[in-house]
Amino acid sequence: MIAVVTIALCLPLGWFARSWLVANTTYAVAYLWAFVFQTLYLLLDSSAFRPGEFPLSYGVTTLGVFVVGFALIALAHEARTRSEARRSARRATPRPEARAVA
């Protein structure tokens, strides 16, 4: 579930949100909601975790997904910034006027 939230939200948030703070905060809130829901679902399933054993691999994996989400937001934001820079450079470049052939 957290992987789905990460993939579905990060690239659009990074592209459409002008502020990194807004994009990262929105992703963090959605991710943490999905994380709590997923953890509760796994805890209710008696075979998900062994009793008495700390699920370190689960924590490391979910932390990795969380960090990848922030990286995807940064990647999409950088791609949008470069796209806007290229678009504005094209508008600023004077076009040669069409010459009429006599």
Q: Is the pLDDT score of 12 beyond 90?
A: yes
Q: Is the pTM of this model over 0.85?
A: no
Contacts of 20 (CB under 8 A, 6+ apart): 73, 74, 77
Residue 101: pLDDT band by 50, 70, 90 thresholds?
A: low
Residues 40-87 have pLDDT tens digits of 888 887 777 777 788 888 899 999 999 999 999 999 999 999 998 888
Does residue 55 sit in helix, strand or coil? coil
Give the model's pLDDT for residue 85.
Answer: 87
Enumerate the domain spans of the chain.
2-82
Give the model's pLDDT for residue 63.
Answer: 96
User: Do 69 and 12 touch, CB atoms closer than 8 A?
Assistant: no
- Taking CA atoms, 49 is separated from 37, 42, 60, 81, in Å, by 16, 8, 15, 44
